[in-house]
Chains A and B, each alone.
Chain A
Amino acid sequence: AQSVTQLGSHVSVSEGALVLLRCNYSSSVPPYLFWYVQYPNQGLQLLLKYTTGATLVKGINGFEAEFKKSETSFHLTKPSAHMSDAAEYFCAVSEGYGNKLVFGAGTILRVKS
């Protein structure tokens, strides 16, 4: 079975600083990888996804992620944090029959002014 590990349940950055949220996955087949964002008491919104092709994927709100097969990683970055980026972020991998998503435990991003 596939699994997803997000290193750091809480990450704190200053406004304007680099955001780096880490995601590692285990998969025996080429993975389809996703990053979602969740604001308090709301559903999840897709930030970006990797399926095939270019390994550097650009998403909404200035976020991007790079698929590194050799490191089994799909880390999320943003060059300059904004206060509105404060939320919880989930990395997920699509798994087999039924196109189910397996999620990491999530990382809460705090942005300090």
Chain B
Amino acid sequence: KNEVEQSPQNLTAQEGEFITINCSYSVGISALHWLQQHPGGGIVSLFMLSSGKKKHGRLIATINIQEKHSSLHITASHPRDSAVYICAVRSGGNQFYFGTGTSLTVIP
């Protein structure tokens, strides 16, 4: 069993839809990161969360430490949001565990 589970694996949405990607983890963590990987391989960090909620533009990330669960929301989705979104958790010893990613396609 993976330490980090994401759902859904694949997601297709119409432009403008509200999107939610879920992440559950089974290890103790210091922080949770949401990453975005575009075709071609480059990965960028979107958020780092240790509690509560963060918002950046149309992206919102929440975490529930007690339930070991995080969600990434995209409001008013746009085709340029099409990418693979990866949940990663960092343990107390700075070891990272990665989900397998959610492939998002937003159709115009």
Mutual binders A and B: no
Residues of B participating in the A interface, judged by any CB pair closer than 8 Å: none
Residues of A participating in the B interface, judged by any CB pair closer than 8 Å: none
